[in-house]
């Protein structure tokens, strides 16, 4: 009888496990379109065995071992790694699309179209140099140029600010995700510590990890207790049931742009990939403060030191030096450089060094009081000593020294000394040019001075060959060209907007300063004609001419002040022609050589187009990799309706068979109870 009733249990377990199998199948089918859902499977195993008189074992049915998820961690890791890279390139591609919309090139009305109209207006003025109507057109086109340049700069700045704000939003999203993952860690542990499975909690957690992986290059490790530890660069974002928040903070003191840092510390998280890294590089991993050179402001600062040897100097020579410095200072001013001046007088018993800064009058007064040394003593070596210890040179500025040796007896140096001085000046980054009279020095000294000049990026000028005026013009033009080259030759960078702003600001700054230089060399149309003034001026004089900081000189409201001639004569069009022809003049250095303004701008547009095309192409390729990886894992973890329908039928027939088995056993027992033992009565 006991064996008979045990048969009920066997059939009952069959009904139970197949009923649970139908539950799992129904759960899979109902979640076929649920994002992140992983199909589940009822793992059916045989039940316990009964030892029958120690002779054999009798099975007692079936049991559910577990309801497991069908998931492949290796494919998950591949998907997340590719998704991280996709997020990075999608961020860059979107930024390039925004930049192209701002520049509106080449099909829209961009800067090229505005510049062409500006050049054309000067060309028309050259045809009628005394025409006020033509001058009015020049002013109108110049105002359009200024408006477009400033608007373009403001749009790029706004795009940077928007990207900066988006970084803050993404950091908050990371914190929200890590907080949810930590909570799910606790919930999953509570469920699975009792040997149950928390499959739906796991689905939610894995979906969050997928999203987190697109935002940041995180490392995910599942512990033996089923909880996840998530780290980035060695720092925990999630550890068991605890999450550590990130917070947006300035990368440097006084900066404007956010970087993610670990809450409670000043430690910047080393983000290497993902959406946030793409946003940071698009915005620029720079300080972001106004006037920041690394964020695009052109560095036109020039700290210039005059070193004058007064030993054995004749009155005629000193007068030439004084006139040369005055001419040099005027030339630098006309070039629009942000200058600081320092004067060193050596060759006498004592050495004099004074920082004049921007006080040109003070400098020229000091120069005009220079006299020949009564007693010789100090040498150029003392000048180098001072240069190495100057604390008035501005940080990050372009440094230049102009040495007047002339007839100075203290300026006789050996080749070894020249090599030493050159190396010391190079170590502090000072470009040195020398003006000398070769008749006063032997060949060794001349060669030593040449080593200093050529070795530091400067030049040795001989008064025997050139006059003072030509030498001064050459030197300040060389300084201008050197600074222009430094701001226009922009190395490739992953920082999209700062790199673009550097190039655009270099174009605008060099072009505008060159126009000003030409414009100030002519005369106005008035009677009597006056010296020309700067055509463009900065809105804020504290910063150089750049996008967002340019306006027309207010004095140009008087159209007579727009200069078309060198002489001021009504028929003289020399200045107008020279400015009109600037579009073809090779002004701007690039890695490809010296380009015209149009050529340099076209190279900028080509770079933006190339960068955008590359980002879009890589994004598309990466998207295909992500879809492929997701397709592979979905083939394992995704719900197949055909398979589920097959399982449904399988469990249904097995359930029915178990129910039929109970009926059969019931009939057998009924036979035993009601019919056995009645035969023969």
User: Which pLDDT tens digit goes with each residue over 601-652?
Assistant: 999 999 999 999 999 999 999 999 999 999 998 888 888 898 889 989 998 9
Give the span between the Cα atoms of 69 and 42, in whole angstroms.
9
Q: Quote the pLDDT of residue 113.
A: 94
Confidence of residue 66 (pLDDT cuts 50, 70, 90): confident
Please tell me the least confidently modeled range out of 49-58, 182-191, 372-381, 577-586.
49-58
Place of tokens 């909880």: 227
In 3D, which of 401, 397, 410 has the Cα closest to residue 435?
401
Tokens at 362, concatenated: 């003070």
Query: pTM for the full model?
Result: 0.88
Could you give phi then psi for residue 439, rounded to 5 degrees?
A: -70, -15
pLDDT confidence bin for 194, thresholds 50/70/90: confident
List the structure tokens of 483. Answer: 């600074």
DSSP state for residue 680 in the 8-state scheme:
T
362 contact partners, CB below 8 Å, separation of at least 6: 356
Question: Going by C-beta distance under 8 Å and a sequence separation of 6 or more, which residues neighbour residue 224?
Answer: none
Which of 354-363, 406-415, 500-509, 512-521 is predicted least confidently? 406-415
In the block, tokens 């005026």 appear at: 469
Nearest C-alpha neighbor of 461 from the set 443, 435, 422, 442: 435
Residue 526 has pLDDT above 90, yes or no: no
Please report the pLDDT score of residue 580 as a whole number. 95
Q: Which DSSP string do the residues of 23-80 spell out, in sequence order?
A: HHHHHHHHTTTSTT---EEEEEEE--EEEETTTEEEE--EEEEEEEE---HHHHHHHH
Residues of the chain with pLDDT > 70, as a percent, come to: 96
Q: What is the pLDDT of residue 52?
A: 65
What mean pLDDT do residues 314-335 have? 89
Across the strands, what pairs with 435?
Answer: 404, 461
pLDDT, tens digit, for every residue of 344-353? 999 888 888 8
Using DSSP, state whether 84 is helix, strand or coil. helix
Show the DSSP H helices in 336-438 as ranges.
Answer: 360-368, 380-388, 415-427
- 3-state SS, 424-452, equals HHHHCCEEEEEEECHHHCCHHHHHHHHHH
Choose among 257, 275, 267, 206: nearest CA to 235. Answer: 267
CB 51 within 8 A of CB 59: no
Partnered with residue 354 across adjacent β-strands are: 343
Report whether 287 contacts 251 (CB < 8 A).
Answer: yes
Question: Looking at the predicted structure, is the pLDDT value of residue 2 above 50?
Answer: no
Residue 542, token pair as written in the block: 């504290």
Cβ-proximal residues to 493 (8 Å cutoff; 6+ apart), any chain: 499
Confidence of residue 134 (pLDDT cuts 50, 70, 90): very high
DSSP 180-247: HHHHHHHHHHHHHTTT---HHHHHHHHHHHHHHHHHS--EEEE-TTS-EEEEETTEEEEETTEE--EE
Find the range with the poorest average confidence among 19-33, 339-353, 371-385.
Answer: 371-385
Residue 549 predicted with pLDDT over 50: yes
Q: For residue 347, which phi and psi values (nearest 5 degrees)? A: 105, -20
Q: How far apart are CA 243 and CA 628, in angstroms?
A: 32
Largest CA distance in the chain: 160
Count of CB atoms within 10 A of residue 150's CB?
Answer: 18
pLDDT value for 61: 83
pLDDT tens digit string along 455-486?
Answer: 999 998 888 767 888 888 889 888 999 999 99
What phi and psi, each to the nearest 5 degrees, are found at residue 285? -85, 70
Q: Which residue has the tokens 């994002």?
A: 35
Place 681 in a pLDDT band, splitting at 50, 70 and 90: low
Q: Does the pLDDT value for residue 299 go beyond 90?
A: yes
Confidence of residue 248 (pLDDT cuts 50, 70, 90): very high
Lowest mean pLDDT among 426-440, 544-558, 646-660: 426-440
pLDDT (tens digit per residue) in 659-676? 998 888 888 888 888 877
Is the per-residue pLDDT at 96 higher than 80?
yes
**CA–CA separation, 391 and 671 (whole Å):** 114
Residue 232: closest CA among 260, 252, 251: 260
Phi-psi region of 612 (alpha: psi -120 to 50; beta: other; left: phi over 0): alpha
Asked whether the beta carbons of 274 and 217 are under 8 A apart, the reply is yes
pLDDT of residue 297: 94
Residue 194 φ/ψ, nearest 5 degrees: -95, 20
Sign (positive/negative) of CA torsion 433, 435, 438, 444? negative
Cβ pair 563, 534 in contact under 8 A: no
Average pLDDT, the chain: 89
DSSP label of 372:
-
**At 398, which helix (H) or strand (E)?**
strand 398-406
Q: Rounded to an integer, what distance in angstroms lies between the CA atom of residue 490 and that of residue 522?
A: 33
The per-residue pLDDT for 555 is 94
Q: Which two tokens stand for residue 410?
A: 């203290």
Q: Which residues contact 74 (CB under 8 A, 6 or more apart)?
A: none
* Model confidence band, residue 1 (pLDDT cutoffs 50, 70, 90): very low
Cα 537 to Cα 76, 155, 167, 519, 597, distances in angstroms: 59, 21, 36, 12, 19
Query: 300-488: what CATH class?
Result: alpha beta
Average pLDDT over residues 511-526: 93
Cα 216 to Cα 176, 208, 633, 680, distances in angstroms: 14, 12, 21, 88
Please answer whether residues 257 and 220 qualify as being in contact, where contact means their C-beta atoms are separated by less than 8 angstroms: no
Higher pLDDT, 568 or 393: 568
pLDDT of 283 > 50? The answer is yes
254 φψ region: left (φ > 0), alpha (ψ -120 to 50), beta (else):
left
Q: How far apart, in whole angstroms, are the C-alpha atoms of residue 546 and residue 592?
A: 23
Residue range 538-561: average pLDDT?
Answer: 94
Q: Supply the pLDDT for residue 53.
A: 65
Predicted confidence at residue 313, as pLDDT, reads: 79
Which range, 168-182, 358-372, 473-487, 666-680, is most confident?
168-182
pLDDT tens-digit series, residues 389-435:
876 567 778 999 999 987 666 677 889 999 999 999 999 889 999 99
pLDDT at 3 exceeding the cut of 60: no
Give the domain ranges of the chain. Answer: 2-70+641-674, 76-125+160-292, 300-488
């Amino acid at each position: 009888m006991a064996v008979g009733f045990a048969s009920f249990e066997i059939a009952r377990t069959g009904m139970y496990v197949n009923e649970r199998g139908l539950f799992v199948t129904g759960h899979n089918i109902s979640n076929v379109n649920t994002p992140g859902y992983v199909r589940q499977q009822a793992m059916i195993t045989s039940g316990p065995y009964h030892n029958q008189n120690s002779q054999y074992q009798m099975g007692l049915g079936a049991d559910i071992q577990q309801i497991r998820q069908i998931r492949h961690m290796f494919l998950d890791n591949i998907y997340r790694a590719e998704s991280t890279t996709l997020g990075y390139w999608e961020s860059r591609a979107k930024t390039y699309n925004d930049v192209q919309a701002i520049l509106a090139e080449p099909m829209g009305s961009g800067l090229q179209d505005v510049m062409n109209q500006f050049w054309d207006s000067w060309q028309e003025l050259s045809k009628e140099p005394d025409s006020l109507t033509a001058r009015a057109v020049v002013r109108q086109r110049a105002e359009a140029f200024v408006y477009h340049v400033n608007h373009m700069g403001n749009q790029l700045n706004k795009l940077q600010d928007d990207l900066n704000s988006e970084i803050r939003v993404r950091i908050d999203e990371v914190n929200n995700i890590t907080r949810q993952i930590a909570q799910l860690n606790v919930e999953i542990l509570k469920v699975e510590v009792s040997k149950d499975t928390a499959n739906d909690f796991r689905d939610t957690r894995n979906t969050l990890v997928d999203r987190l992986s697109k935002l940041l290059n995180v490392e995910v490790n599942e512990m033996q207790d089923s909880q996840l530890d998530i780290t980035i660069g060695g720092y925990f974002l999630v550890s068991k049931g605890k999450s550590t928040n990130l917070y947006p903070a300035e990368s440097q003191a006084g900066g404007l742009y956010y970087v993610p840092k670990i809450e409670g510390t000043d430690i910047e998280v080393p983000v290497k990939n993902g959406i946030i890294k793409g946003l940071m590089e698009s915005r620029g991993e720079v300080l972001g403060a106004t006037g920041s050179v690394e964020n695009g402001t052109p560095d036109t600062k020039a700290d210039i030191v005059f070193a004058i040897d007064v030993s054995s100097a004749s009155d005629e020579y000193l007068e030439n030096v004084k006139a040369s410095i005055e001419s040099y200072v005027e030339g630098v001013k006309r070039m629009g450089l942000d200058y600081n001046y320092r004067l060193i007088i050596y060759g006498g018993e004592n050495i004099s060094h004074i920082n004049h800064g921007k006080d040109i009058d003070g400098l020229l007064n000091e120069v005009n009081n220079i006299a020949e040394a009564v007693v010789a003593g100090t040498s150029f070596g003392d000048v180098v000593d001072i240069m190495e210890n100057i604390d008035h040179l501005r940080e990050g500025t372009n440094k230049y020294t102009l040495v007047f040796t002339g007839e100075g007896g203290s300026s006789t140096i050996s080749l070894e000394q020249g090599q030493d001085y050159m190396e010391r000046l190079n170590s502090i980054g000072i470009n040195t040019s020398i003006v000398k009279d070769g008749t006063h020095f032997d060949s060794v000294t001349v060669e030593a001075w040449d080593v200093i000049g050529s070795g530091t990026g400067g030049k040795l000028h001989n008064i025997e060959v050139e006059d003072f005026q030509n030498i001064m013009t050459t030197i300040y033009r060389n300084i201008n060209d050197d600074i222009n080259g430094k701001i226009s030759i922009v190395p490739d960078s992953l920082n999209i907007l700062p790199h673009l702003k550097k190039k655009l600001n270099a174009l605008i700054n060099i072009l505008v300063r060159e126009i000003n230089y030409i414009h100030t060399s002519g005369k106005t149309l008035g009677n009597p004609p006056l010296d020309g003034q700067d055509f463009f001026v900065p809105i804020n004089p504290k910063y150089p001419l750049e996008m967002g900081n340019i306006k027309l000189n207010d004095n140009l409201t008087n159209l007579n002040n727009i200069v078309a001639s060198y002489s001021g004569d009504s028929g003289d069009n020399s200045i107008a022609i020279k400015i009109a022809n600037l579009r073809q003049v090779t002004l701007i250095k690039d890695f490809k050589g010296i380009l015209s303004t149009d050529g340099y701008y076209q190279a900028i547009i080509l770079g933006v187009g190339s960068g955008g095309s590359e980002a879009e192409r890589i994004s598309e390729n990466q998207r295909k990799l992500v879809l492929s990886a997701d397709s592979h894992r979905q083939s394992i973890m995704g719900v197949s309706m055909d398979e589920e329908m097959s399982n449904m039928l399988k469990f249904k027939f097995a359930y029915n068979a178990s129910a039929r088995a109970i009926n059969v056993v019931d009939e057998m027992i009924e036979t035993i109870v009601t019919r056995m033992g009645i035969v023969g009565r």
